[in-house]
Amino acid sequence: MTTYEQLHPRLVVRGADKAIAFYRRAFGAELVEHYTAPDGTVVHALLRAGAAVWAVKDADEYDPPTPTIQALYVSDADAVGAAMEAAGATVRFPIADHPYGERGGRFTDPFGHQWMVSQRTEDLTPEEVRERTRTMFES
């Protein structure tokens, strides 16, 4: 049987070094790996902030920039949201409490990727989340 060891997003951007600097400022991320082509373009960079791991690379003819939505769970959504905004992210949805047991908001980084920054505020069963979500959309 195959063992799945890790899955992490690979963000393709124009200006990978600027993106890396943004993620280091916004999340305090550690640059774990950084490889470049002879012309200086970033072919792979791996970042880590706590248990969160993601890769960044420069867009090229094979990999165009493609925006994504990342779901990032943290211990303090307000602090991370403020750090993202201070580093240059745009607030799409401000940090707020949600009936499905989370506090969070959504931000767009300067490279077009959206980040749902959330913290869990309640331990709910999947059925409780379904019911609260249904109620939220009905009101």
Buried b / exposed e over 51-68, threshold 16 CB at 10 Å, is eebbbbbbbeeeeebeee
Are the C-beta atoms of 107 and 114 separated by less than 8 Å?
Answer: yes
**Same-domain status, 51 and 71:** no
pLDDT band for position 28 (cuts 50, 70, 90):
very high
Which of residues 47, 66, 85 is at a domain's end? 66
| pLDDT tens-digit readout, 54-65 | 999 999 999 999
Considering the domain architecture, whether residues 82 and 62 belong to the same structural domain is answered as no
Quote the pLDDT of residue 138: 87
First-to-final CA distance of the chain: 46
Q: What is the CATH number of the domain that holds 30?
A: 3.30.720.120
Nearest CA-CA partner of 16 in 76, 51, 57: 57
Give CA–CA dist 27/77, Å, rounded. Answer: 11
* Count of structural domains, the chain: 2
The residue out of 66, 84, 104 marking a domain boundary is 66
Quick one: pLDDT at residue 6?
A: 82
The pTM (predicted TM-score) of the whole model is 0.87
112 in a domain, yes or no?
A: yes
